[in-house]
Structure 1
């Protein structure tokens, strides 16, 4: 049987101060949970279970780190809490499990039933997904590397619950210990821990389309390759505390953690598919609004340009950066502007009436009708962005006008790429051609 980790909530330092947890009836959550934890440890050791008690002076995050640094794949972990409510009549125990994990739901129900068997006077508040907790997600359930549950044993604010725990602490400990042993046997029915475990593959579906790379299933939880995170428009710098595991030289993260970053996460057990949905990912038919946000990285723009003209970046090495910066100032979608530039210049090959040294990336003309020239690549990009904004919006420019024909544009006449047909160019298929280039960019970047 695997080992059992048990943590008593609170008592450690949070924000430089000792965190007592809930306070009621002359006692604290930390004190009551430490006493209960010690009683559970005694019960488990009397039954020859290997148990590791988390030190009481650790913060919530350090508790998880402590467990993860010692855990083996077939171990289990539980953290015990006492709840509190404004009304003293609110009572009962509940067990939280990681959302959408039916296996862990069963484990939570097992733990709850085991406690209620020895303390039947305690009301049951049921097993609950951690998305229903007050914080919308529990770090202990989500970031602990092994199978984990968070149990709310009583409501400390309830005199009845509090008295029940203080007078029958050994019964509480006995019920929780029996539940932990039964749960541990489900996780490890007698096999030895595998030094190099093999995890089953799962399918990853993003906005209705299956992703070519596979995820893995670890302790009943879906994990996805970390390279998907940027594609889902999630800032890696903001998820430093999310559990990462390395498997066969690929780094994975727990999929459900992405719910904190506007990504919907679901699970289809029949097809073993984790389903991810993000409004930030590009979908066909919703990409042509000129005043909007871009979606690619600078590296993706460079790759797209280089794939279509390997000499393009030799003369204009900063062109992707310039489009991202200048477009952001005016609120123009830089993906659209960049794709427009690629179409107009044949991926910076130029030709015809306009030469590379003119820094004219959109076929802009002068007041007299001649092809315009600009003093630098940045100014040429700025003129292009301003001309696009003139067609797409009636808002004033943020920077000084450098587009020689800005004042001649019917403001707001073309809010989408398609509307540029017959305006920017006499070609009635002009907008469709630019959209085609934009779709090629998104396909190259893996966004379509």
Structure 2
């Protein structure tokens, strides 16, 4: 039986010790370290070999630390607490690498074990890491052994915080139960099974391999697709029988659609119509239809369009008039309003879908007389950042004149400008990728 790596996640920034979420006199780091220590003690009492990741290293160093020690029969878990602008949001979840039924089953096993011990903690389910804020989680992707990231609830919610602090031993025992079962389920492969590779509808001559439930493809095929991974240190490579392979899912950022057919054990790759060099440009033409936007929004919040039934149409129409990419603007709205759940300072009645401030610094930000005018203001503010061209329609954005025109043509350049969040642009772009994958455009 393999070893178990347990990491107490805290923030994930570049510093060696980022406390993560800070709320109600505690921090994410403190709560996760205390919980992790109990998990390790419990597992060791059951005879498992457990390695506790040092707490004074950052995420990249954590991955390096584990990879320097791990083998195929080991498993790795990082625990986190979530945070939300709304104190009512709560629940535990587990993230896994996408297109991996085996890892999803492991995630379900882990979450179920936790909820059996702490039924007071609601479940937010198991989800692929493409559903996370940044569209991928390095801990799920870059660890050489099977790995999962578990979020133990929302530290910003009083009820979840109470469970973490006052039922900590139950939480730890539940996670230990799941880890014990997961570790027993993972065994080293003497030979990796093969899988077929379908590219744009045709079967490729060479086969891929399946490692820990993930489809890997030969590096020579990656080169033939015109993708240069030589400078991509984040992409995990393995050598098997003198051939270098990479995870198929790691090709997604290079405009390659990646799917899986379990019945025929085939990884499905498709070049997309989305140009990688244009996907993050604010000025441009969107690729989705009203129906695409409606279905995507309702898949994230079934009640999203009850109050704003025409919102997808409004974004497409208003963005087209000013030459702004409506896909980016719409996904920014999803981030700012939590898929029209709101819950922060801005209320639905303000028709403020971009988190816009006003010219006088009102605590709740700007308000607009209709949904269309609110969308128009957001589009105009995006155009202010991304272009020096004049507006087509009458100005309704209250802060248009304060922007240095054309300073941020790429969505990533909105980070630290539109929002203080340094990952703001990355989160919008990750949502765009999810929208395109959901709409079968990527």
TM range (shorter): 0.5 to 0.7
Within a 5 Å distance, the mapping from 1:34-433 to structure 2 comes to 34-188=33-187, 193=188, 197-279=190-272
Contact 1:108 1:149 in 2 (8 A): yes
Alpha-carbon deviation of 1:106? 0.9
Alpha-carbon deviation of 1:174? 0.2
Alpha-carbon deviation of 1:262? 1.3
Find the counterpart in structure 2 of residue 10 from structure 1. 10
Q: Distance in 1 between matches of 2:61 and 2:224?
A: 30
Q: Distance in 2 between matches of 1:86 and 1:232?
A: 42
Contact 1:93 1:123 in 2 (8 A): yes
Alpha-carbon deviation of 1:69? 1.3
Q: Distance in 1 between matches of 2:15 and 2:58?
A: 10
Q: Distance in 2 between matches of 1:237 and 1:278?
A: 20
Alpha-carbon deviation of 1:233? 2.5
Q: Distance in 1 between matches of 2:125 and 2:171?
A: 17
Find the counterpart in structure 1 of residue 21 from structure 2. 22
- State the Cα deviation string for residues 401-434 of structure 1 (Å, max 9, x = none): xxxxxxxxxxxxxxxxxxxxxxxxxxxxxxxxxx
Contact 1:203 1:211 in 2 (8 A): yes
Alpha-carbon deviation of 1:17? 6.0
Contact 2:17 2:55 in 1 (8 A): no
- State the Cα deviation string for residues 254-309 of structure 1 (Å, max 9, x = none): 1111112211111111111111111379xxxxxxxxxxxxxxxxxxxxxxxxxxxx
Give the TM-score, by structure 2 length: 0.60
How many equivalent pairs are there?
Answer: 274
Alpha-carbon deviation of 1:84? 0.4
Q: Distance in 1 between matches of 2:157 and 2:45?
A: 31
Alpha-carbon deviation of 1:235? 2.5
Q: Distance in 1 between matches of 2:148 and 2:17?
A: 24
* 1:157–1:11 distance in 2 versus 1, CA, 3 Å: closer
Contact 2:16 2:58 in 1 (8 A): no
Contact 2:81 2:152 in 1 (8 A): yes
Could you tell me which runs of 5 or more consecutive residues in structure 1 were left unpaired when the two chains were aligned.
Answer: 282-448
Alpha-carbon deviation of 1:11? 6.6
SS in structure 1 at match of 2:31: helix
SS in structure 1 at match of 2:68: helix
Q: Distance in 2 between matches of 1:236 and 1:11?
A: 28
Give the TM-score, by structure 1 length: 0.59
Q: Which structure has the larger Rg over C-alpha atoms? A: 1
Alpha-carbon deviation of 1:232? 2.1
Alpha-carbon deviation of 1:229? 1.8
SS in structure 2 at match of 1:18: coil
Q: Distance in 1 between matches of 2:266 and 2:65?
A: 31
Contact 1:232 1:280 in 2 (8 A): no
Q: Distance in 2 between matches of 1:37 and 1:233?
A: 43
Q: Distance in 2 between matches of 1:158 and 1:271?
A: 44
Contact 1:203 1:273 in 2 (8 A): yes
Which 4+ residue blocks in structure 1 deviate beyond 4 angstroms?
A: none
Q: Distance in 2 between matches of 1:97 and 1:53?
A: 20
Alpha-carbon deviation of 1:83? 0.4
Could you tell me which runs of 5 or more consecutive residues in structure 2 were left unpaired when the two chains were aligned.
Answer: 275-442
Q: Distance in 1 between matches of 2:32 and 2:74?
A: 21
Alpha-carbon deviation of 1:15? 3.2
* 1:180–1:16 distance in 2 versus 1, CA, 3 Å: closer
Alpha-carbon deviation of 1:234? 2.0
Alpha-carbon deviation of 1:244? 0.8
Cα RMSD (Å): 1.6
Q: Distance in 2 between matches of 1:161 and 1:9?
A: 17
Alpha-carbon deviation of 1:238? 4.2
106-115 vs 58-67, which moves further: 58-67
